[in-house]
Amino acid sequence: MIRKIRRKKSKLLTWAFLFFVANYILLKTTSKINLKTNKSKIDSKINKETVGEQTFKKLDEGKTNFEVCQLPKLNYGLPLEDLKPMPKCTVERNWGNVDSLDHKWTLDKEIQTRIDSIRCKYRRVERIDDFKVNLGSFNELKDGDIVRDDVFEVECDGKNKSNGNQVKFDNLYVQVVNNNPKDKFNIGKDSSGCFPYNVMLLSYDSVSRVSFVKRLTKTFDFIKNTENFFILTGYNIVGDGTPQALIPLFTGYTEEELPSALKNDPNGKYVDEAYPFIWKELHKKNFTSIYLDDWPQVGAFSYRMRGFKNHAPKHYPKHYQLYMMQRNRRLKKSNDFCNGDTKRHKIMMNLLTSFKQLYRNRQSNLAIMHYVENSHDSNDHLHWLDDDIFEFLNNGFREHLFDDTIIFLNNLAKLTSPFDIHATVRDLTCSKKEIKNDRQRSISLFGKISIYRSCEDIGIAEHFCTCVRDWKSKNINTKEIKEVAEFAVESINSVSSSKRDLCQVLGLKKIISAEKLDLDGKVVYRVSFITYPNNGIYETIVYQGKNEGFEFISDNFSIKSKNDISRIDSYGEQPWCVAKFGSNPGLMLDLRKFCFCYIKKKFNLFCVIFNSC
């Protein structure tokens, strides 16, 4: 329940999520609203409701005969390896910069004390789609000129005052430009009397809760010691990979429930044509939006998928990241994690700040950033973000970019998922909607989430369920466990069998660990093992006996789905023959974690097997 409060028109409401794609979500509430648990009488009965052919249990906190999800106790005492210092940017100082609000180009005064006769030119970089850019013609750029292109390239030359030598500077710039400014305050209640909040979603790829606490110490201390930050310790992923983390959050559905947007599918559509992204609906409600990501070569919606065509967020500088990657490769720039004199992750945060400044008091807005570079391959560079995330949050609140506060009071230690975040965003933006065949897996964090909620209720496979179970360790040398592991390897081979001309048959090399569980009368195994010849490390959940509806079934064992088989080491270049999406028409499966390609002539066998190419 949300209690109405009086608010000044000069203030906006912002709900900010800072989350890390793993099992961790932080909430910062920014409006003085008290969210109270509904005090109506709790019905102690179990109500069964039907949605189509689906039935689900509606549980409440009055029940005592249902299992409560016990969350794991994590070990934060593990020592970190030596933290590498952040490298300095190769470019000591940009020759000029563009103002984030008035878009005026200004030559740097300190540079002008060293460089004489500076002449600059610039050209526009235009997005064609998520894979191609168009470069405009160069035009003269003078000190004080206004540049209203969101992405542009600058080249300058001049004379070094100390020795008279010619010197050059070049850089790629990105900014948030509102080419359809709204001069009047344009925020208010909708026709139903609902007041829309702003929403900000910040995510960093492949970061666990322990890694966040240990590596982002300043940020965590700020969160821990700042009023109205809350941690969803029961947040649970619903699948393996970044799209499986983001698609439910942005759409309320899983990838499998939506039309195909795959490059390899001849009938695949662009993601904005296939997916009901929430910003499409918010745009109709007069919201503006921004979506920032990096590493276009592994983009969540452009690696396996066809990317966006027309209905992307209003501000979507994908072409900045795309052209920067192409440009750095062409100019053979060393990877200092910078663009010009600024770290690339800092540039993304600056864009978010500019976006919030530009639309403050003007227009309701949705801001999304998913950042990959510092944590995707490993978390060794994650700590480099700490100072800048802290500064972004601290300055944002101090400068009233996130004015007004919501106090969130319940659901903190209950089982939640990306579906619930989607429902919460809808709740906050006055866009509530029933999701077809939802089975109440999407519950707003302002609603009532039962302590008896289970992974099964949400649709989370046992393989990804964070609830602590009574797993019993088993001897890995028994015939029983060997048969379980061999069935798992057979299942992996059955996935890659459609491309046997490309993918080698794998065998069981070693069993690492095995556990057994009695789950509602079913015997379940969790097994980790190594395969050969790829030295791949896998983990999966295997059910005893035949189970109808499962993807892999033998006389003795079953595995629900290929999605329940995880490869937990880096596969590197091993699946090179199936990793170039779009080059294998009709190959609908993502075989990267299952396929060990026949060796390329240019690759050394040792380096492919041990991922050292």
Residue 519 lies in a domain: yes
Instruction: Report yes or no: 80 and 215 within 8 Å, Cβ to Cβ.
Output: yes
Query: What is the C-alpha separation between 561 and 578, in angstroms, rounded?
Result: 20
> Considering the domain boundaries, does residue 589 fall inside one?
yes
- Predicted pLDDT at 223: 85
Is 388 a domain residue? no
Name the domain count of the chain.
1
Report if residue 4 sits inside a domain: no
**Domain assignment of residue 381, yes or no:** no
Torsion angle of the four alpha carbons 247, 250, 253, 257, in this order, in degrees rounded to the nearest 10:
-50
What pLDDT is recorded for position 586? Answer: 67
Strand-pairing partners, residue 366, are 199, 289
Report the alpha-carbon distance of residue 306 to residue 314 in Å, rounded.
19
The pLDDT score that the predictor gives to residue 184 is 53
CA atoms within 13 A on the CB side of 441: 25
Instruction: Give the CA dihedral 583, 588, 591, 596, nearest 10 degrees.
Output: -50
Unique residue bearing structure tokens 């004390």: 113
**Which tokens is 237 given?**
């992923």
Q: Which two tokens stand for residue 22?
A: 């793993």
Decide if 202 contacts 369 (C-beta within 8 A).
Answer: yes
Instruction: Give the number of other Cβ atoms within 10 Å of residue 136's Cβ.
Output: 13
- Across the strands, what pairs with 305? 262
Q: Give the domain range for residue 546.
A: 472-609
C-alpha to C-alpha distance for 110 and 161, rounded to whole angstroms = 13
Q: What is the CATH number of the domain that holds 511?
A: 3.10.450.10
Per-residue confidence (pLDDT) for residue 224, from 0 to 100: 83
| Residue 508 included in any domain | yes
Quote the DSSP letter at residue 305.
B
Q: What is the pLDDT of residue 471?
A: 94
Of all residues in the chain, what percent are helix, strand and coil, respectively (each to 5)? 25, 25, 50
Q: In one letter, which amino acid is 413?
A: A
Q: Is residue 549, in this structure, part of any structural domain at all?
A: yes
pLDDT (0 to 100) of residue 52: 30
Residue the block writes with tokens 């794991």: 72
What pLDDT, on a 0 to 100 scale, did the predictor assign at position 589? 79
Contact call for residues 247 and 258 (beta carbons, < 8 A): yes
Q: What is the pLDDT of residue 186?
A: 59
- Beta strand 288-293 with 365-371 is parallel
Instruction: Report which of 485, 524, 491 is spatially closest to residue 505, judged by C-alpha positions.
Output: 491
> Among the residues of 252-343, which ranges form H helices?
271-274, 278-284, 318-330
563 within domain boundaries: yes
- pLDDT score recorded for residue 122: 98
**Which residues of the chain register pLDDT less than 70?**
1-66, 181-187, 228, 403-412, 435-439, 583, 586, 601-613
* 3 state SS for 57-113: EECCCCCCCCCCCCCCCCCCCCCCCCCCCCCCCCCCCCCEEECCCCCEEEECHHHHC
Distance CA 498, CA 587 (A): 9
pTM for the full predicted model? 0.85
Contact 118, 107 (CB under 8 A): yes
CB 540 within 8 A of CB 488: yes
